[in-house]
Each structure stands twice: as C-alpha cells, then as structure tokens.
Copies of this chain bind each other. A is one copy, B any other.
Amino acid sequence: MASIKDVAAEAGVSVATVSRVLNDHPSVSADARTRVLAAVEALGYRPNAVARSLRTDQTHTLGLVISDVMNPYFTELARSVEEEARALGYSVIIGNADERPDLQDHHVRNLLDRRIDGLLVSPTDGGSPLMLDAVRAGTPMVFVDRWIPGVDVPVVRADGRAAVRDLVTHLHGLGHRRLAIIAGPAATATGQERVEAFREALRTHGLDLPDAYIGQGDFQAASGRRVTEGFLDLPEPPEVVFAADNLMALGALDAIRARGLRVPDDIALAAFDDIPWFVHTDPPITAIAQPTGELGRAAVRALVDRIEGRPPESVTLPARLVVRRSCGEPAPQEPSASPEPPPAQSPAVQSPVRRSQT
C-alpha cells in the first residue's frame, strides 16, 4: 500500500509538503498542491490512520460500551450515537457487555488500549476499578442511560418519574390497585430509580408497594418470565405487572400466556422502554418511551465537547407515557394520531422501525 513517501517521490516534493497538502496547511504553492493531488490520485493513496494517530495522539474514535446490543433500545441508541459522531467527524467502536461486568471491563480495556478519544458508557454494574481508574486518569467519559453515582462524569439520560406517575394514574383510573414491578439489577442506577419512582407514584395514590410485589430481574427476558411466574403463584397475585425494561416485559408476556391467562383481561402489563415492536405484540403494550435518538445525540455532543476542551453538560430529557391496550380499555386516541392499528406517523406510536432517513 502506497505511503506518503511514494506520493512525495511521484510528485517530486518532500513528504512534508505532501503532508501539508493533505492537511491543507496554508503555505503550499498552487503548483506543488496540484502535483501532490495528482500523485495521490495516481497512486490511490490513502493516509494511514494508524500512523497518523500515533503521531497526533488522537484517533478520532469514540468507544461505546453498552449493556446489551440485542435490546432494541440500545440498538437504537447505538445507531444514533454513530450518526451524530459521524456528523462530527468521529467513528464509533461498539463494545457489547451483555450485562456482564467482566465483558464490560474487557471492552473498556480494549478501547483504552486503542487510545480512543473518549468513552460513552452505559454501565452494567456499580463501576469496576478499571473504569474508575480511567476517569481518574482523565479519559473523557460520558454516561448514557445508566450511570454510577458519585463519579464525576456527565450523565445523559431520560427522567421517567413524570411518565411513571402518569402510568400509575392511568392504571389507577382503570381500577387497578395491586401493582407489581419487575425491577432491574440493584447495581444499576436505572434499576433502582425506576422502582423508587414507581413506589412514590403509588404512594400519591395511597397505594403500597409490598416486597412481594417487587421482583428482582436482570433486564433480560428470562428473568421477566421467572419473576412473573413468582407473582402469579402468590396467594393474591397482582393485577398489573410493570417491567422495568422491554425484554423483561416480553418475558412476562410469555409467562402470562403460558398460564393460559390473557392480557389485559386477566392481568395488565406495562413496560419501561418503548420499542417499535410493542405496537405489533398481542396486545400492543403500554410503555414509557424514552427519547432514545435524542439521548444518543446529546451524549455524543457532550463527549465531544469534553474531548475538544469545551465544558460538557449533563442532560436529562423527559420520558413519556404511550398508552396502548395492555392495561385494559382501548387506548384513548393518541395525540395527533389516527387509531392505533394503522400506526401513522405519530411521534407516539411509531411504526416498526421508523427510519429518519438522513
């Protein structure tokens, strides 16, 4: 593969001049410039990003470590992150932690070794020493969706409190009084926060959240199923199951079906994290939607700010309730939207995999 030396030889100039042309440095004669450009063309030369990175100590690359790529929420997040990064001149390397702290560490280490310019993390656990060290060492970092309390790193996330309150009001209005939650791992900030928001919302309606109605899940479908089975085995099973993420909601749906029960007639179901598929499930699932794309973009902007020396900002965006049919009674007409089945272009109900064609 042709190197800058070959180009210099072909153009009859020094490598310094070639480099100047390539980085459009002001003081290069028009003549030299055209000769270099011609040589570049002729040889099909492309600068070696590895060498450039070694010299300049920047890779123009961001690392993104997420907890589960197979979760549509994170997939969408990854997509928007890559999009925004590309717009700002950065590439993204994704590391999938699969909710496993050891894998998370593996990826963080790998990305650090590759000298990425900054790291976007949605931590799986309470924070490994490795990650803490990286922060201390000055690696630009931003947390997205989940975060580690007490660490001085900007956080970009959605606040679900209001939406959870709306949900509980909705459920209460439908006459439900025994509400249970499938919680996420206690080690994650979002896991805890969602339970707290739920408990608080219940309290404002004079309802209680007994321990038996808090199931411990791990953000994976299997745990949703397991926990739901536990709920159904209770002497007094809940009337509503609220899953703290979409995968666990699917697991819950399975468990309910396996008992021959029906949603929402026998038991209601709601989820945190809205995903396109929830429109098509049987029945369509009421969920709390995060502004996922916006979160990804904001996270990238914060990280790039930090990298390029501007002060980064934490960002919190509101989540909102999207009512469908899984909690009872047909959905009230959604804002600007036609009735549910034809999932029109409403911001609330999006058709499966809506693409904001760029």
Determine the chain B residues whose CB is within 8 A of the CB of A72 once the complex forms: 70, 72
A251 touches B351 (CB 8 A): yes
A341 touches B250 (CB 8 A): yes
Listed stretches A30-38, A149-157, A219-227; interface member: A219-227
Is A342 an interface residue when CB atoms closer than 8 A count as contact? yes
Listed stretches A111-119, A120-128, A176-184; interface member: A111-119
A251 touches B341 (CB 8 A): yes
Would A50 and B53 be within 8 Å (CB), given that A253-B280, A342-B257, A353-B247 are in contact? yes
Q: Point out which of A44, A47, A351 has the most chain B C-beta atoms below 10 A from its C-beta.
A: A351
Is A346 an interface residue when CB atoms closer than 8 A count as contact? no
Is A264 an interface residue when CB atoms closer than 8 A count as contact? no
Is A5 an interface residue when CB atoms closer than 8 A count as contact? no
Would A50 and B54 be within 8 Å (CB), given that A247-B352, A341-B254 are in contact? yes
Listed stretches A93-101, A205-213, A303-311, A313-321; interface member: A93-101
Determine the chain B residues whose CB is within 8 A of the CB of A221 once the complex forms: 341-343, 351-355
Is A339 an interface residue when CB atoms closer than 8 A count as contact? yes
Q: Please give the distance in Å from A137's CB to the nearest CB on chain B.
A: 7
Q: Please give the distance in Å from A338's CB to the nearest CB on chain B.
A: 8
Is A192 an interface residue when CB atoms closer than 8 A count as contact? no
A residues 35-54 in Cβ contact with B at 8 Å = 44, 46-51, 53-54
A341 touches B113 (CB 8 A): no
Chain B residue at minimal CB-CB distance from A57: B50
A70 touches B59 (CB 8 A): no
Determine the chain B residues whose CB is within 8 A of the CB of A84 once the complex forms: none
Contact mask A52-86 → B, CB, 8 Å, 1/0? 01100001000000000111100110110010001
Contact mask A264-288 → B, CB, 8 Å, 1/0? 0000000000001100111100000
Determine the chain B residues whose CB is within 8 A of the CB of A250 once the complex forms: 276, 280, 341, 351-353
B113 touches A96 (CB 8 A): no
Q: Please give the distance in Å from A6's CB to the nearest CB on chain B.
A: 14
Q: Please give the distance in Å from A329's CB to the nearest CB on chain B.
A: 17
A49 touches B283 (CB 8 A): no
Q: Point out which of A137, A276, A340, A353 has the most chain B C-beta atoms below 10 A from its C-beta.
A: A353
Contact mask A322-358 → B, CB, 8 Å, 1/0? 0000000000000000111111000000011111000
Q: How far is the CA of A250 from the CA of B283 in the complex (A)?
A: 15
Chain B residue at minimal CB-CB distance from A82: B96
Contact mask A1-39 → B, CB, 8 Å, 1/0? 100000000000000000000000000000000000000
